Structure formats: C-alpha cells, structure tokens
Amino acid sequence: MSLRSELSKIIRGYKLICEIDKFYLILQVINAFTDSLFPFVYLYMSSKIITELSTYRRARELIIYALVTVSINFVLSVFSQCINTIKSKHSELFTCRTALFYSDINNKMRYESIEDPETHFKRQSIIQNQQASSAGIPMLINDIYGFIKNTFTVIFSLSLTVSMFYLYSDKSCTGVAAFVNSPFSIIIIVGIVAVNTCVNIWCDKNHTLRSVDAWKDLPHNNRLLNYYSGRIWNYNGAMDIRIFNQEAVISKELSKYYDNPAHLKILVKLGLHFGTIRTLLNKFTTIAIYIYVGIKAYIGAFGVGNFLMYTGSLQQFTYGVSGLCGSVVSLFNNNRYMQEIFEYMDIPSTVNQGSRKIDSDAKREIEFRNVSFKYPGTDVYALKNLNLKFNTGGRVAVVGMNGSGKTTMIKLLCWLYDPTEGEITVSGVDIREYDYSEYTTLFSVVFQDFNLFAFSLGQNVAASVEYDRDKAVECLKMAGFGRRLSEMRKGLDTALYKDFEEDGIEISGGEAQKIALARALYKGAPFVVLDEPTAALDPIAEFEVYSKFNEIVGDKTAIYISHRLSSCRFCDFIAVFHEGELVQYGSHDELITDTGGKYYELWNAQAQYYTAN
C-alpha cells in the first residue's frame, strides 16, 4: 500500500467520525490541548520562582509568580474537568451513535448481502476488534487525542528549551565541560533524541504487527468466541443449554480460546522484548539530557531555575516524540481494521432499480415470466422457468414440500433478490424499472421467520413510533389477538419481551404470529403475502385465521403459503411447487381429481390425520 493510500484511509476515517458525532471529536482535540499545556505551565512558572529565590528574592515578584501559577493551574484544572465531564457523558452517546451507524448500514444493505455469510463474518470481526482492542473507530478517537497531545507537547517543549542551545558560559572550560559549552554538543543531543525516536517507531510498529499475527494464529478465532458467547447470553439458547446439559461442551470449546499458554507466552515475550528496548533507550536518553543540562548549569550557562525547566522540557520532548510516533504508527496499523469497516460500508445498499413510480391504478397484475433463480454462491437452481400470474383481488395458495421453492418465489416477488433469468413485471413493466421503495409499498408480508422486536405492542403492529391507536387495536382484533389485548394492563403500550422493560411480557409462538398478521393488516398494502405464518397454530385455528383473513383482505390480492392443504381450500387457485418448479395450477376441485398429480399425493398424505375414524 502506498503512503497516499494509507493517508486517504485515515482521512476517510475521521470524516466518518464527523458524520457520526463531530462534537465528540472536537472535545477530544480540546482535551488533548489542555492536557499537553499543564506540565509546561508548571515548569515555566516553577523556574521563575526558583530563579527568583536563588537570586534576588524579591517578595513582590515571588507573590506575583505564585498567584499567576495558582490562577493558571486553577483555570486549566476547572476547564479540563469540565471538558472531561462532558466528554465522559458524550462517550456513551458516541458509542450508541456508532452502533446506530452500523445498524443503519445493515438496514440499507441488499438482502442478498444480509444472507451472505461473509457479511456476517465482516460484521462480527468489526465488533470483536472494537470490543477486544478498541480497534477501528474507537482507535481513531484515541489516536487523535494522542496525536494532538503529543504534537503540542513537542511544540511547547521546543519553545521552552530552544534558548538552552545558544546559552553558553563565559568561564574558561576544559575537557567534557568545554565540549558541552560548544555548539557541537547540540549535534550529539539531537542525534541521541533522533535515534531514540527511530527505535521507538520501530518497536511500536513491530510489536503491533507481530502481536496481531499472534492473535491470528489462534486455533479458535473471534467468530467462534462470538458464537459461543452469544449462545451463553441468549436467554432462548439458555433453555437448551440446561435441558441437554451443554455447559461442559461450551466451557471446553471456549477454553480453547482463552486457555492458550503457548499463545500467551508469545504475547508476553513480545511485550518484554520490545518493552525492554524502549525502556532502556528512553532511560539512556533521559540520563544524557540530565548530564548535558547539568553540566551547562554547573559551568554557569544558566541558573538553577532554568535547569529545572530545561530538564523537564527535554524529558517531555522525549516522551512527546515517542508518543507522537506511537500515535502515527497506531493510526497506520489501525487502517487494516478501518479497511474492514469501509468494505462493510461499501457493500451495495440497494438493488439495481429505476425511477419509475407505481401507478395509482387499483388494478395491478404481477407476473413471473420464465423466471429462474440461483442463490449467490451456488450453481443449483432454486426456481426453474417459473411462469405465474397474480391478478388483483385473487386468492392464491402456494403449496409444496420443504425446499420446493415456495419461499424463494416470495423473496423474488418482494424484490429481495433479482431473478437470475427472466423477469417479473407489474402491469407489464419489469420491476427493475421501478423505484425500489415505491415497489415495496405494494406488499404486506408475514414471512415464515418473521421478527417481533422488544418494543411496545403498538409499535410492533404499526412498525412506527407514532401510529393510529384505534387502527392498531382493530387490526389486532381482526388477527384474533383481541382477547389477549384486553388482558394487558398497558394495552398497546405493553412492551414485548423483557430486553428493555422489566414488566415486558413473554408471548407464545401463536400470539406472535397473530401480532405479525396484525402488522400486515395495518400496512394495508394491495398485495398480502402470508408465508406459513400460522405454523404455531393447530390446523383448526389455522383454518379459522385464514378464513377470517380472507374476509378481511377484501379486494386485495392474497397469497398464502402453507404445508396444511386443508387450510387452502377457500383460495381461488392453488399453485403446486416441486423441486423448484411449478408443476400444477388450478382450484382445489380441479387438482384433487388428478390422481397422478403432486397435489393429490400431498392431499392424501395429510388427509388421514384429519379424517375421523
């Protein structure tokens, strides 16, 4: 990677932080400047006081110096405390906004990317890097503090020490004292500081790189840690852990991650190796500075007060340069983690779409024309040469065995994927010519693996913070949830689950499906799709829901998917799928007469369970 490329990543990273929360970044910069100023105010004013005490001892000047020192330190302390307090509170807000930033990326991402395992791995890696070592965005925040603080430390220390190099003694000196009192000594001191700086950079860079490589060599990586940790802390998974006594296997697998003596030895060895080099060289540099400044003070180049200021400033300079180099190295090393974030951000966020608006005409016809589809990363067709038409106001049941392509057809219908071959049209126009957000307004869907969230019941139904309460209640009643709603003390304000509210309620699978049905009703889209939404209900309850829902749907187009064929008899047409193909299409009465057809086979396979002996 070129220097320009690496710098562009750092710049992009800080632009990203500004998008998330510019104020927090400004607080870091102000805090860094204030913290860098503190020691130099002390050094400068202390040198003035000591010089006065060792020479003139004027009471008035001593009082002024003391008052100025106390006043400046008081103002800086109060200001710094205020900044730190604000920054501390804002830190939590920044963490929340960062999480929302990732959530927003995830929500805008193409569905096929969401289903891609590599997307999950990228997201897990970003989260794990952030939690384990504050890599990524948190590291940029920390590094800007270190960079600004150390930059000003170097600037302030140079400002206070520059006079030392042109102050010489008028006394006659010999030997080492004569050399120190000459301009050539400056070259030696600058050389020592330069060598110390270069070695610190080398140590920081190599320590970081080799430590990262050591972490990568773990036999069980971060994905495994995330997986098992998620299972342990998930209360749904906790039931299986207890029933099947899985504590031992989880502990054993996690111990492979945590208990790795060989790995720990490598990390400790790296820390000792590079830490020892840095420490020894820093001590040598400090000693050399003290000797240099001490000899100059001894031969009378300056007084005791300046000795304190120069030694303190040069020591701060050494720490500042070392810290500045460490911050720069950290910024460049952090680019590998930022690259993961940028790759995640750059995952396509929308399907290929046009700008056409949906016609307001109530009569719409959606048609699959020779549609075939393969899921990304596979050569197997999930759907093959599908030709199917959905007319306005029709009732179509979609049946078939598991893996026959029913849910895949729904995903294509809802434009979660583009067809591999063929086209899907609305009123004769390819859906790819429409605006995507416009197209999705056509559908209210209850997916097979639908999700409810730990928000209020009303918000779950309306999928919105603000909503029509009367309409939400009406939809819940239509979906068969009216009785349960009447038993809830807080009504629509009742929180689902206990993730955020202590008085949240746990709902059964059947109740969850009714809420999902109510959500589909609330949207009021012209196409209503139910992808096995009543799997948790018994067959009779399922038939009652479907029959009632048929009345509720009215003139809307309804598409039902169910394994229970007895619940689909009220539909106008039944589409039978098998191994990714549409093998039959017609009414129940028509299909049941075809004794050699797939529908007849499926019907009779289930009929025995519903026939009274």
Q: Where are the domains of the chain?
A: 3-345, 351-441+566-613
* Structure confidence at residue 342 as a pLDDT band (50, 70, 90): very high
Classified as helix, coil or strand, 596 is coil
Structure tokens at 19: 């998008």
Helix (H) or strand (E) holding 473: helix 469-478
User: Poorest-confidence range of 168-177, 322-331, 406-415?
Assistant: 168-177
Residues 26-35 have a mean pLDDT of: 92
Contact 176, 291 (CB under 8 A): no
Spatial neighbors of 129 by CB under 8 A, at least 6 apart, are 135, 136, 222, 337, 340
In angstroms, rounded to a whole number, what is the distance separating the alpha carbons of residues 18 and 200?
A: 31
Residues 345-354 have a mean pLDDT of: 73
For the stretch 65-83, pLDDT in tens is 889 988 988 888 899 888 9
pLDDT tops 70 at residue 610:
no
Model pLDDT, residue 220: 45
pLDDT tops 60 at residue 217:
no
Burial class (CB in 10 A: 0-12, 13-18, 19+), 86: middle
State how far the alpha carbon of 77 is from the alpha carbons of 31, 69, 85, 315, in Å.
11, 12, 12, 23
In angstroms, rounded to a whole number, what is the distance separating the alpha carbons of residues 270 and 263?
A: 11
In the chain, the percentage of residues whose pLDDT exceeds 90 is 18
pLDDT tops 60 at residue 612:
no
CA dihedral 19, 21, 24, 28 (to 10 degrees): -20
Structure tokens at 537: 């209900």
HEC readout, 163-205: HHHHCCCCCCCCHHHHHHCCCHHHHHHHHHHHHHHHHHHHHHH
In angstroms, rounded to a whole number, what is the distance separating the alpha carbons of residues 265 and 267?
A: 5
State how far the alpha carbon of 292 is from the alpha carbons of 161, 193, 295, 539, in Å.
13, 13, 5, 92
In angstroms, rounded to a whole number, what is the distance separating the alpha carbons of residues 149 and 592?
A: 80
For the stretch 89-138, pLDDT in tens is 888 888 888 888 888 888 778 887 877 778 877 887 888 778 767 888 99
Structure tokens at 410: 């729904």
HEC readout, 367-382: EEEEEEEECCCCCCEE
Nearest in space to 370 (alpha carbons), one of 318, 425, 441, 317: 425
Model pLDDT, residue 384: 94
For the stretch 435-472, pLDDT in tens is 888 888 888 888 877 888 888 999 999 988 888 999 99
Classify domain 351-441+566-613 at the CATH topology level: Rossmann fold (3.40.50)
Model pLDDT, residue 613: 44
Classified as helix, coil or strand, 524 is coil
Residues 239-265 have a mean pLDDT of: 61
Model pLDDT, residue 33: 93
In angstroms, rounded to a whole number, what is the distance separating the alpha carbons of residues 459 and 90?
A: 28
Model pLDDT, residue 472: 93
Structure tokens at 334: 């952090």
Spatial neighbors of 334 by CB under 8 A, at least 6 apart, are 13, 135, 136, 139, 140, 143
Model pLDDT, residue 258: 57
Q: What is the DSSP letter of 262?
A: H
* Structure confidence at residue 140 as a pLDDT band (50, 70, 90): very high
Contact 454, 538 (CB under 8 A): no
Q: What is the DSSP letter of 574?
A: E
Classify domain 3-345 at the CATH topology level: ABC transporter transmembrane region fold (1.20.1560)
